[in-house]
Structure 1
Amino acid sequence: MDQAEPHILVVDDDERIRTLLARFLTGQSCRVTTAEDAGDAAAKMAAISFDLLVVDVMMPGQDGFEFVAGLRQRQNHVPVILLTARGEAEDRIRGLETGADDYLPKPFEPRELTLRINAILKRAAQPAPAPPTQIIRFGDFAFDLVRGELKRDGHIVPLTTGEAQLLRILGRTPGATVPRAALSEPGTTAESRAVDVQITRLRRKIESDPRNPRYLQTVWGEGYVLWLE
């Protein structure tokens, strides 16, 4: 792990998986806490601050999708990786739509989970280099390219780490088309559809009419462009 002893919460109703992941991640210089379901996770999050959550989708009671959606509704933007036993694109896209930062279908190699955790923590801890002008403005919005902080009329608009990174990349070259490949997660095999979902979520936060975007526009067959007005 690149970040010194990140504290990770593993949420899974399967005790065997919890134990295996805890053992593996501990061996990767992580502090690990486990929870058997969403209620147990919520109780532990009330007492402990975590750097990242690894959450199983298929849990009894509140499932992983609902749990992550509830976190985001409460303005909790701790990074989340969802684990799903189903590999259908619809499930993966739904996970991103709820506010998860990444997904990993089961079965998976523990080393791949480590790489994905590393990518997310590195992105959150080390903002990308910014151009000389650190603040870009469009409409009522101001985005800090260094801090990854979006404000509207002086009020913070919560972003996931993935959404902030997309705005950083697009904001470095406003008015220029950025290919989908340049917006994909570094070091992962994220599909272009996953990028589209992140863009859709961003539009809901910055556009008055997300279906007819003014600032974050699609260049068909090429990628996306951010217009500053």
Structure 2
Amino acid sequence: MSDAQHILVVDDDDRIRTLLKKYLTRSGYRVTASASAGGARKLMTTFDFDLAVLDIMMPGESGLDFLSSLRQAGKRVPILLLTARGETSDRIEGLKRGADDYLAKPFEPEELLLRLEAILRRTHVEPPPEEVEMSGLVFNAKRGELTSGARRVRLTEAELQLLSMLASKAGEPVSREELASKSPNSTERSIDVQVTRLRRKIEPDPRQPVHIQTVRGIGYRLMPD
């Protein structure tokens, strides 16, 4: 359970807090609950949450005001709002203030789970691997080093930037346009030249590349071992 995503449930209704804690825990999540915005704010100083389920209608600080304070403080935790059925204005206002989705009460726990999972799929980004292995070579993006055993393979600054960009999206196509836009003084044509040079340093057979692959009509894709 230590690797389970952590959900914060904020609702002054004891029944809803208990229901969601049991249901989401059974669904594989770690769940912490609070009856108020103030309590939730304190929890956020201690824990990092992957998503918060936030009721709008709470005594004291409302869910909308709490949402606004989070966004103004730069906290990007995804928010699923719980609203009163028929309160269209609350839903619109919540989305304007930075909510990711909303669900009207009363609701089916299964629908809440599906909406929660959809938000997490959209917002959760896996950090790129620190090291990428390619036919006996190891590229460490953090250190900016390409090594073969104890030997360091020399890369030009342009080659290093290109390899770093491809490694950050390993397995995914990256367009020539994007590669050129993020590399100073580069053009799409110069990217092709840099790729050719990189292949000579990385590929077992540069004429038949297996690691820096051409994606027809798009650009290139880095495929590690």
TM-score by length of 1: 0.55
SS at the partner of 2:82? strand
SS class of match (2:99) = coil
AA aligned to 2:77 is V
Q: Does 1:62 align with 2:61?
A: yes
Which residue number in structure 2 is paired with residue 222 of structure 1? none
CA RMSD of aligned residues (A): 2.2
Partner Cα distance (2:179, 2:70) in 1: 28
- Aligned equivalent of 2:70: 71
Partner secondary structure for residue 102 of structure 2? strand
CA-CA distance at 1:21 after TM superposition:
0.5
For the residue of structure 1 that corresponds to 2:91, the secondary structure is: helix
The percent of aligned pairs where both chains have the same amino acid is: 52
Matches of 2:123 and 2:57 in 1, distance apart? 27
Q: 2:133 — aligned with what?
A: none
Q: Which amino acid aligns with 1:106?
A: K
The Cα offsets for residues 109-166 of structure 1, whole Å up to 9 and x where unpaired, read as: 11111111111111122589665144798xxxxxxxxxxxxxxxxxxxxxxxxxxxxx
Rounded to whole Å, the distance in 2 between the matches of 1:28 and 1:46 is 26
Give the total of aligned pairs. 135
Q: Which has the higher contact order (CA 8 A, sep 6+)?
A: 1
Aligned residue in 2 for 1:87: 86
Deviations 1:190-209 (A, max 9, x none): xxxxxxxxxxxxxxxxxxxx
Return closer, same or farther for 1:87/1:75 CA change in 2, 3 Å cut-off: same
SS of residue in 2 equivalent to 1:66: helix
Residues 37-63 of structure 1 show CA distances to partners (whole Å, capped at 9, x for unaligned) of 000000000000000000000000000
User: 1:108 — aligned with what?
Assistant: 107
Instruction: Determine which structure has more spread, i.e. the larger CA radius of gyration.
Output: 2
Q: C-alpha distance in 2, partners of 1:91/1:135?
A: 42
Matches within 5 A, 1:1-229: 5-126=4-125, 131-132=174-175, 133-134=177-178
**Which range moves more in the overlay, 127-136 or 19-28?**
127-136
SS of residue paired to 2:17: helix
Give, in angstroms, the shift of residue 89 of structure 1.
1.9
Give the corresponding residue for 2:138. Answer: none
Unaligned runs of 5+ in 2: 127-168, 182-225
Kindly indicate whether the alpha-carbon contact (under 8 Å) linking 2:6 and 2:50 is maintained by their aligned counterparts in 1: yes
